[in-house]
Every structure is written in C-alpha cells, then in structure tokens.
Amino acid sequence: MERDITGVNIEQMKGRFGKPVKTLLLFVIAAIVLLIMNPFVIVGAGERGVVLNFGAVQPVVFDEGIHFRIPIMQRIIKLDVKVHKSETGAEAASKDLQDIRSTIAVNYHILPEKANWVYQNIGIEFKERVIDPAVQEVVKAATAKYNAVELITQREKVRGEIKDLLKSRLMTYNIVVDDFSIVNFKFSQQFELAIEAKQTAEQFALKAQRDLERIKIEADQKVASAKAEAESLRLQKENVTPQMIRLRQIEASMKAIDKWDGHLPKFNSGAVPFIDVKSFEKE
C-alpha cells in the first residue's frame, strides 16, 4: 500500500474524493450541454411565441412566460402584440376631382392568438405589406364619395367612414385597429387660394351688411330725433300765447331789478335802461 512521507494512504484519498469530483464534473458537463442546446425560451410581456418545427409553423402559440422547446427541432419566433402607431401618407381625389394629400395615423396590434397566422402569411413587415396599402385604398374609396367642400365641413363623418373601412379590411389579416386619426388633410394650392378668397369675400360681405344695418339704425335714430324735436317745437308754438309772452317779459324785468344795485352808471354811451314799473300794475 502506497504511503507518502506523511503516512497518509493515497488510495484511501482517491476513494474518498473521487466520487464527488466525478459527480460535480458530470453536473458541469450537463449544464454546459443545456446551455448550448438552450431548451428553454422566455416569452416577454406583450409578446407571443410562434413555434417552428424544422421551419414549419405550428398551431400552438406560446403565451408570456417560460416554455420548453425541443432543441435543434424547434425554434421560437417572438412577435410583439402590443399597440403600435403607424403613419401613412395618402393621395386621393374628391368627387369634384380636387387633389387631396393626407397623413393618416393608425394605432394597431395583431391578434395575439393569431400571431402564428400573421407570421406565416405576412411575416414581421406587416406595416409595409398590409397596413400602408390598406390605408391608401380606403382613403381613396372614402374621399371619392364627397366633394372638396363636404370633406372640409363633414370631416368627422369622413374620418368615421375611413376608420370603419380600415377596420374591416385589416381584420381579414388578423390586425386590429385600436384608433385612427387624420393628422393632416390638405388640398391643392389653387383650391386653398380659392377657399381663402371666398372666405375673404364672405367677410367683406358680412362687414358691408353690418355697416348697412348700422347706417340704417343711425338714420332711423336721426329721423326719430328730428320728429321728436319738430313735435316739441310744434307743441311749444301751440302753447305760446300773449299771456305767456307777457309773463316772460315780467320775469326778465324782475331779474333785471334783482341784479340792479341802485346806482346809475357814471359813464354811459347810450340810453339808460328804463323799466316801466306801471306796466306791472296793468296786469
């Protein structure tokens, strides 16, 4: 039996520590193999996992969480099913052949349970392949029913019609329209200038009408004032009698007496005013 210089039995040491070392080694090797083969997959929040068996899309769709896959045989494609925003430029023509340029914003998401169908039939570039062409088509179909003025005055109605058409069309591709808005809605420059000129003319016409109404009111007020003044003069003339004239003369003479201080002026270039006191006695 082998012994080292310390007297320790080497064979006993090999037997005592050899088994745990082998177990640890096997565990490390298994962990490395699992790491390389990667049999587990984690599907994150707002995602779905499309299962591929040797490249073939399977009916099953992985929900959020951790899942087991068969290494080498299975591959998992993760698709985002959260709400996304897409902006698309669209050109169309109105019923009266006015050119229209618009920018359409669409909030959408793919149906989570149909993620495998979307990946198999459309792929991950569904915005460019499906959403943009659908927006172009429904905008043209909706705007062709209205003339340019109706598109301006009935914008909310047009928006609702485009939204309904877009929902119906995209649902055939298992894509849900969450919201829809018209970011920009412009006509040709010539039409916009014509609309501006029309609005300016309407404003001038409205101002002229208001000025005419104001002038008419002012004229009516002047006529009413003149009539009132004429009526007042007429009444005054009817009420003027010799007795009233005599009363006014007496009142004027009394005021002159009240103001006189009893002294005659030292210098006088004219006749001294004379008050006929006896005239008061006649009445």
Q: What's the DSSP call for residue 9?
A: B
Q: DSSP label at 269?
A: S
Name the percent of the chain lying above pLDDT 90. 30
Distance CA 111, CA 81 (A): 7
Q: Among 86, 110, 84, 105, which residue's Cα sits nearest to residue 175? A: 110
How does the average pLDDT of the chain come out, rounded?
Answer: 79
Q: Which two tokens stand for residue 264?
A: 């005659």
Type of residue found at 267: F
Asked if residues 83 and 108 have their Cβ atoms less than 8 Å apart, the reply is: yes
- Could you give the domains of the chain? 10-80 (no CATH), 84-192 (3.30.479.30)
Residue 2 confidence class, pLDDT cut points 50, 70, 90:
very low
The predicted pLDDT at position 107 comes to 94
Q: How confident is the model at residue 1 (pLDDT cuts 50, 70, 90)?
A: very low
Most confident of 5-19, 30-44, 45-59, 175-189: 45-59
Spacing of C-alpha 188 from chain mean position: 23
Report d(CA 72, CA 60) in Å as an integer: 18
pLDDT-based confidence at residue 262 (cuts at 50, 70, 90): low
pTM of the model as a whole: 0.57
Q: Are 158 and 92 a contacting pair, CB within 8 Å?
A: no
The residue among 255, 144, 148, 250 whose CA lies nearest residue 198 is 148
| Angle of helix 132-143 versus helix 155-171 axis, rounded to 10 | 140
Kindly list the distances between the CA atom of residue 278 and the CA atoms of 12, 84, 161, in Å, as whole numbers in the listed order: 170, 113, 103
DSSP code per residue over 176-206: EEEEEEEEEEEE-HHHHHHHHHHHHHHHHHH
- How far is CA 16 from each of CA 21, 222, 275, 281, rounded to the nearest angstrom? 10, 128, 160, 164
| Tens digit of each residue's pLDDT (9 = 90 or more) over 111-138 | 999 999 999 999 988 889 999 999 999 9
The number of angstroms, rounded, from the C-alpha of 43 to the middle of its chain's C-alpha atoms is 37
β-bridge partners, 101: 91, 186
**Identity of residue 29:** I
Give the other-Cβ count within 10 Å of 80's Cβ.
14
